[in-house]
Structure 1
Amino acid sequence: MTEIILGISAFYHDSAAALIINGEIIAAAQEERFTRKKHDESFPVNAINYVLQEAGISASDITAVAFYDKPLLKFERLLETYHAFAPRGLRSFLKAIPVWLKEKIFMKRLLKKELKKLNTTNKPLFFPEHHLSHAASAFYPSPFCEAAILTVDGVGEWATTTIAYGKEKDITLLSELKFPHSPGLLYAAFTYFLGFKVNSGEYKVMGLAPYGQPDHSQTLLFKEIILTHLVDIREDGSILLNMDYFDFATGMTMIVKHKWEKLFGMPKREEESEITLVHQNLALAIQQVMEEIVALLVQTAARLTGSKKLVMAGGVALNCVANSKIAAAGYFDEIWIQPAAGDAGGSLGAALAAHHIGLQKDRVVETTDKMKGAFLGPEYSGKDVRKLIQRFGATANDVTNFEELTALISGHLADGKVIGWFQDRMEFGPRALGNRSILADPRRIEMQQQLNLKVKFREGFRPFAPSILEEDLQDYFNITIPSPYMLHVGKLKSSYHTRTTEEPATTIFERLYQERSMFPAITHVDFSARVQVVSATMHPKFYELIKSFKKLTGCPMVVNTSFNVRGEPIVNTPEEAFLAFMKSGIDYLVIGNYVFDRLQQPTLPDSVFPVFSAD
């Protein structure tokens, strides 16, 4: 009998759906890519319809459904937390409880109602715990027969961090840290205090941290304050938060604002306001603390499991700087991280947990991971491209010979042009990996500023990632761990540095835009870069493009950033790609074999463009 399991994550943030058939991952996508609402939390009806369509089945063919957490356990945590902190949090309690009573406590009934709309009823429902879904998403697709499993995020039901051991089809929980003591929520609190949005701005804090000065008295003081007043870190990596300073357990915000402002001697930064050295040093301090916590957790995972292989998931697993410190520590010989490490990936983990644990199906391990490069989303045909050309009166050249196409685009890249690159299936997870990407020449010093301000419309301090040919990695970066999913950082080798000291700078942007290497567009202020390693087997078209660029220029890498503008999810359809191309400063758009030149396109009315919101 064919076993078809639908996995769902929803109702918190980053809703998604995933489909597996007899244990094979067929399709997965976030709901935001269809609704165009970033981090959409709604029931993922569009994502569900997509994964069914991709598999060529109807909803009635589904044999089981898995939801990524246990709502009743979450409700228990909510009630016990409010009781423990009473009378604090009455306002938050009165706001949250009606929603839970009306919807979330009856999640099983709500799911059945939504599934009925899709014409699938009376199917077995599985509710693995949140962190088990994360653990399953990390272990089962990995190429390891056995491994230590570390999951770290904000909070699931009760757990905020777990250490488990996976072997064949079984996952055994060994240790867990419970709410409210959460590494993820600690980092999120600093995200909020530094003026970024929780659950979406944490990577901005990570990108800001290298601007901080490690030996500066202020950085050292900030770290001392954090470790003295906010968090107690134990030898095994578990933590205790001083809840006198945090408001997330029962309040409407992350922190007790006036206490933080007094503690750090600075006001909370407001969104869009100036970023100064004090913010840079605070970002560095919390990044260092987070790295210390994760390093201890990894050491404990190695001790408890005895394994030399590690897999990771949960939102904190997207902190690629911490990941690289883990790899360098040497506790594990091999590390694999789920590319959709956040809650979206929980949909996939829930389906896999239902298959291997709920239904006790054996696991087949392969030499490579089972994520198919994370290319699990929709793809579109030339017919779809021709439809958008007709609708908007656009002009495009159809370059059917792919070698000619890569040569053409390599030439444009070498001339300093910005390319929108849209190919095949969309990526699952937060990273663009060469199918929904904006590309540029990393050798140009002006490119980072141009991409940030004219293309992405985002903060100018944020770095860009290089995508480099697999065979050239060791010649350019001191990174040895595989990084196909852009989840590790490496330092650019010193032979490519053009300066060892910085010129005096007044602002963060003046520091960033100093030329410090032969590849200034991808070199952060500390000479680091978030590297994607591109192989011919996993990324065939992207590989050929970079190979063509190398043949022309001698440079085996390109700048790769996600194909979206600020406030928008990564583009999904050809039409969305075209509108983002026309709204931004992208020079050429490639969709499949079709090449669009900005200078040849008609002027479009403002009414056709989505409204971009700040994020």
Structure 2
Amino acid sequence: MLVWGISALSHDASLAVVSDGEVVFAGHSERYSRIKNDPLLHSDLIAEALSHGRPQAISWYERPYLKKLRHATAGQWKDALTKEDAPRRYLRSLGLPFRLPAVSFAKHHESHAMAGVATSGFSDAAVIVADAIGEFDTFTISKYTARDGLDVLFRRRYPHSLGLLYSAFTRRCGFRPNEDEYITMGMAAFGSPRYTDQLKAEWIAIGEPGFRLRANVHRGIGDWLPEALPEDLAASVQAVTEEVLLGAARWARRETGSRNLVLMGGVALNCVANSRICATGDFDHVWIFPNPGDAGSSLGAIAATTRQPVKWSGPYLGTEIQRTLDPREIVEELKANGVLAVANGRAEFGPRALGNRSILADPRTRRMKDRVNEVKGREKFRPFAPVIREERAADFFEMPIPATPYMQFTARCKEPGKFPAIVHTDGTSRVQTVTREQHPLLYRVLNEWELETGCPMLLNTSLNSRGEPLVNSWEHALAFGRREGIKVL
């Protein structure tokens, strides 16, 4: 049976295809339309999904009428009253070349949770989902077992939302909410959490396992503390977020009895908080699906509605660029110019570039960090990630867990002076580990790079310019190379 999973009409639309229980395709609409966070399904994304066959069923990532009720509760009357965003009506408007099959609907947090559970390999787990807002749930803690499925033990509902609070502070710091939260997280390392107590006194009450907001922050917090430095505000909201998540994880461990933890929702992209949870030692295994936000819920919706196991072999699920790459050529280009772009293989499903749509660079000089930031049009304070072979990672980083293949955790660098381009101001790095099985080409490049230079790692960042989605095609990659003056292989 072939099933489509769809996340659309909100932000970062995506489509996943599962055939007889195996994920055969998953892609982001923005990569095709070139519109960042595009909420609509692009025709080329649909065409690529159709190359795997016509769907016999469709799974939608949330309950539309429950969401409209929340819109009404929030005073979003335009959204509540419009009929154009009804999923079946929307799908019919796309002119699909087949009769619309049955459409099943999962709850928003159920889709998040099941995207994590279905790809974890766990037979039991504590599951924490934290995001901004979908329908009403914003923060849930569940117990999962293969026999009984998902059982929600605790929930917070709109307007009490940790994700909305973080987004409100992202706006207050001068960035775009629902898009630049990762910049706020990076900026936090430059500040001091001097406003944590004041933040808790005015905005959030924390008590294990959760929290309550003291006011609705859906439309922001205005010019709160106008004299405060943005980096101190960022550090303060980051500290509060970590406190909430650590308390939730402790409670989840006690209440579920499981030594496995699944973290999902947009807040699960907070790699600093994720690392602190790992450091507690409460869990033997922590799993975060490489696409934990709403886009990943296209896959989660299938797992939630079909109630069947999903075979998932890794994040390389999108458009394929078929080119023959020679690791020696990559190493020689890096030795000669210090930086290049790689566009090859199937696109990553998720926000991180993991070697198939990447800019790679020599991490041994501070100048290289500035150069890559200039290429991407980014703020100079923003950190970059290192990629290193898994067996070498512990030699250079204090790893929270042995393997971090999807850039979801931070680790303290043991020799920061040697690799200034990939070390943040707090001495940490968002490490990507690689095995030969996960990515044979990248593994071989790293091996030959170390043999040639003595350096065990490379800087790895996404192949895109500021404000653009990751490149999706060879034509996109060549355009990037011409524009930025970087060789593309």
TM range (shorter): over 0.9
Question: Offset of 1:414 from its aligned partner?
Answer: 2.7
Give the 3-state SS of the residue equivalent to 1:377 in structure 2. Answer: strand
Q: Deviations over 1:316-336 (max 9, x none)?
A: 000111100010011111011
- Kept in 2, the 8 Å contact 1:66–1:125? The answer is yes
Distance 1:375 1:445, change over 3 A: same
Q: Distance in 2 between matches of 1:582 and 1:372?
A: 34
Cα RMSD (Å): 1.7
Distance 2:418 2:338 in 1: 18
Within 5 Å, give how 1:553-592 maps onto structure 2.
553-586=453-486, 588-590=487-489
Check conservation: 1:138, 1:349, Cα contact below 8 A: yes
The amino acid across from 1:43 in the alignment is L
User: After the TM superposition, which residues 32-51 of structure 1 pair with which residues of structure 2 at under 5 Å, given as runs?
Assistant: 32-51=30-49
C-alpha separation in 2, matches of 1:539 and 1:68: 30
Which residue of the other structure, out of 450, 454, 476, is the alignment partner of 1:550?
450
* Structure 1 counterpart of 2:106, one-letter code: P
How much has 1:589 moved relative to structure 2?
1.3
Partner Cα separation in structure 2 for residue 210 and residue 342 of structure 1: 23
From 422, 425, 429, the counterpart of 2:350: 429
Equivalent AA in structure 2 for residue 471 of structure 1: E
For residues 587-609 of structure 1, give each alpha carbon's deviation from its aligned partner in whole angstroms, at most 9, with x where no partner exists: x210xxxxxxxxxxxxxxxxxxx
2:203 maps to which residue? 230
Rounded to whole Å, the distance in 2 between the matches of 1:410 and 1:46 is 34
Alignment partner of 2:189: what SS? helix
Gaps of 5+ in 2: none
Partner SS, residue 345 of structure 2: coil
Contact 2:321 2:343 in 1 (8 A): no
Q: State whether structure 2 residue 314 is matched by structure 1 residue 373.
A: yes
What is aligned with 1:68? Answer: 61
Among candidates 84, 89, 93, match of residue 103 of structure 1: 84
Pick from 22, 28, 31: which aligns with 1:30?
Answer: 28
Does 1:306 pair with 2:257?
Answer: yes
Normalising to structure 1: TM-score of the pair?
0.77
Match for residue 212 of structure 2 among 234, 240, 252: 240
Per-residue deviation, 1:279: 1.4
- How far residue 111 of structure 1 moved from its aligned partner, in angstroms, is 3.0
**Does the aligned pair in 1 maintain the 2:463–2:470 contact within 8 Å?**
yes
Question: Which letter does structure 2 place at the counterpart of 1:212?
Answer: G
* Separation in 2, partners of 1:412, 1:292: 45
Secondary structure, counterpart of 1:572 in structure 2: coil
Bigger mean CA deviation after superposition, 309-318 or 165-174 = 165-174
Matched letter for residue 428 of structure 2: S
Report SS of the residue matched to 1:425: strand
Classify the secondary structure of the residue corresponding to 1:486: coil
Q: Is residue 2:8 matched to residue 1:10?
A: yes
- What does residue 184 of structure 2 align with? 205
Measure the CA separation in 2 of the matches of 1:407 and 1:81. 57
SS of 1:346's equivalent in the other structure is: helix
Which residue number in structure 2 is paired with residue 413 of structure 1? Answer: 334
Q: What SS does structure 1 have at the residue aligned with 2:82? A: helix
Call closer, same or farther: CA 1:154–1:577 in 2, change over 3 Å.
same
**8 Å CA contact retained: 1:133, 1:346:** yes
Deviations 1:424-444 (A, max 9, x none): 101011000000000000112
- Name the residue aligned to 1:467: 387
Once the 2 structures are TM-superposed, how far is the Cα of residue 107 of structure 1 from its aligned partner?
3.0
Q: CA deviation at 1:122?
A: 4.7
Q: Which residue of 1 aligns with 2:238?
A: 287
Q: CA deviation at 1:567?
A: 1.2
Spell out, residue by residue over 1:138-166, the C-alpha distance to the aligned partner (whole angstroms, 9 max, x if none).
00011211111111100111000111122
Aligned pair in 2 of structure 1 residues 538, 293: CA closer, same or farther (>3 Å)? same
- Percent pairwise identity: 40
- Tell me if 1:145 matches 2:148: no
Q: Which residue of 294, 297, 313 corresponds with 1:343?
A: 294
The answer on whether the counterparts of 2:27 and 2:318 sit within 8 Å (CA) in structure 1 is: yes
Distance (whole Å) between structure 1 residues aligned to residue 189 and residue 438 of structure 2: 31
- Aligned mates of 1:122, 1:582 — CA distance in 2: 42
Structure 2: how far apart are the matches of 1:151 and 1:46? 31
Secondary structure of the residue aligned to 2:212 is strand
1:123-522 matches, cutoff 5 A: 123-168=101-146, 170-213=149-192, 219-220=193-194, 222-236=195-209, 238-243=210-215, 246=217, 248=218, 253-255=219-221, 257-258=222-223, 260=224, 264-266=225-227, 278-356=229-307, 361=308, 363=309, 370-382=311-323, 405-453=326-374, 455-481=375-401, 482-493=403-414, 496-497=415-416, 517-522=417-422
Q: CA deviation at 1:416?
A: 4.1
Q: CA deviation at 1:295?
A: 0.6
- Residues 155, 182 of structure 1: 8 Å contact kept: yes
Distance 1:45 1:304, change over 3 A: farther
CA offset at residue 13 of structure 1? 0.5
Deviation at 1:549, TM superposition (A): 0.4
Alpha-carbon distance between aligned partners in 2 of 1:190 and 1:585, rounded to the nearest angstrom: 36
Q: Which has the larger radius of gyration?
A: 1
Aligned to 2:99: 121
Following the alignment from structure 2 to structure 1, what is the Cα–Cα distance between the partners of residues 112 and 163? 14
Instruction: Judge conservation of contact 1:10–1:44 (CA < 8 Å) in 2.
Output: no
Tell me the distance in 1 between the aligned counterparts of 2:441 and 2:198. Answer: 49
Counterparts of 2:321 and 2:423 in 1: how far apart (Å)? 34
Q: CA deviation at 1:467?
A: 0.3
User: CA-to-partner distance for each residue in 1:15-47, whole Å, 9 max, x for gaps?
Assistant: 000011121111100000000001001134432
Cα distance in 2 between the residues matched to 1:185 and 1:585: 39
Q: Secondary structure at the match of 2:329?
A: helix
Separation in 2, partners of 1:475, 1:381: 35
* Aligned AA (1:589): V
